[in-house]
Structure 1
Amino acid sequence: MKKLFGILLMTALVSGTAVANDEAVQSRIAPVGSTCMQGDECAAAPAPAVAAGPKSGKDVYGSFCTTCHSAGVMGAPKFGSAADWAPRASKGKETLYTHAIGGFNSMPPKGMCAACSDDEIKAAVDYMVDGSK
């Protein structure tokens, strides 16, 4: 009888430990995030604010263009340098717009601002040219 009681006691202890360990394991391997589908209660959360209108040339420059054009990375004309911009500007703004939108030499299309409209890119070109006279 003592043996049977010992076996039952050990089984209860091991079983309790297994449950505790199982819960600990489950909490460690639980997903970090979750997906919220349209129609779910969590989908009613407010959406992040979106810009009210088009970005200004200064804003586009400050967010994207400055990375290369402030230091002249890979031959990019530096903002504020008339010597860098004069030969380019002499080709006309339409050429500058075409190069900025479609990419030119080391510059990728739209200068990596895929979400920018053509008009926003043109505004950034105008901002850089006007600031480099």
Structure 2
Amino acid sequence: MSVHRAQNAAQRPSRLALPVIAVAAAVLLAGCGQQNTVDPELTATLIQPVARLEVKVSKVAPGSRTGEQIYKAVCASCHDSGALNAPKTGDAGAWASRIALGFDGLTSSAIAGKNSMPARGGASDLTDTEVKRAVAYLVNQAGANFTEPPVEQ
């Protein structure tokens, strides 16, 4: 008799599990026939990005940019950090030997390119006068006293 009781005790959890599984399956199946109650327009609104980015292309007439504008748009990427051994903006020691070349020498180097710097700093749309403005602005930050060519109105 004790063997019979042991077998009944072993089968008891499986006997209880079967009705529990059947009830869970019935509950899950009962929800399958319901219509979607979520508004698709509301869902689309809620999952939109948090911010929007609008890119505008602004064309500037050639020759009308100041030295500071050109510096910020073209030159600062290397001269602010000293990338590719570019002399840093405002570093009088690094610019002293370059300032000694004079304004025309510096301008010629900037137009033609020098070492790692490409011609016109990589901005092929710069006019010679704009390069002169940028050179004057950049070198004056290191203590030179060059006159930036005026912007014609």
Structure 1 and Structure 2 fold alike (TM over 0.5): yes
Deviation at 1:54, TM superposition (A): 1.1
CA distance in 2, matches of 1:73, 1:122: 22
Moved over 2 A (4+): 48-53
1:50 aligns with 2:25: no
Quote the offset at 1:91 in angstroms: 1.1
> Structure 1 residue 92 and structure 2 residue 84: aligned?
no
Match of 2:33 in 1: none
**Matches for 1:70-85 after TM superposition, within 5 Å:** 70-85=80-95
Structure number with the higher helix fraction is 1
Amino acid at match of 1:113: A
| Residue-by-residue CA offset, 1:30-85 (whole Å, 9 max, x unaligned) | xxxxxxxxxxxxxxxxxx75335610000000001001000111111111111111
Taking the aligned partners of 1:110 and 1:87, their CA distance within structure 2 comes to 20
AA of the residue aligned to 1:51: V
Q: Return closer, same or farther for 1:70/1:49 CA change in 2, 3 Å cut-off.
A: closer
Q: Which has the larger radius of gyration?
A: 2
**Partner Cα separation in structure 2 for residue 113 and residue 94 of structure 1:** 19
* RMSD (Å), alpha carbons: 1.4
Gaps of 5+ in 1: 1-47
**Percent identity of the aligned residues?**
38
Paired with 1:58 and 1:116, the residues of 2 have a C-alpha distance of: 13
The amino acid of 2:60's aligned partner reads A
- Provide TM-score, normalisation by structure 1: 0.61
Q: What is the aligned residue count?
A: 86
1:90 offset after TM fit, Å? 0.5
2:46 maps to what in 1?
none
- TM-score of the superposed pair, with normalisation by structure 2: 0.53
The CA distance in 1 between the partners of 2:93 and 2:129, in whole Å, is 26
Structure-2 residue corresponding to 1:115: 125
Unaligned runs of 5+ in 2: 1-56, 144-153
Work out the CA distance in 2 between the residues paired with 1:62 and 1:51: 15
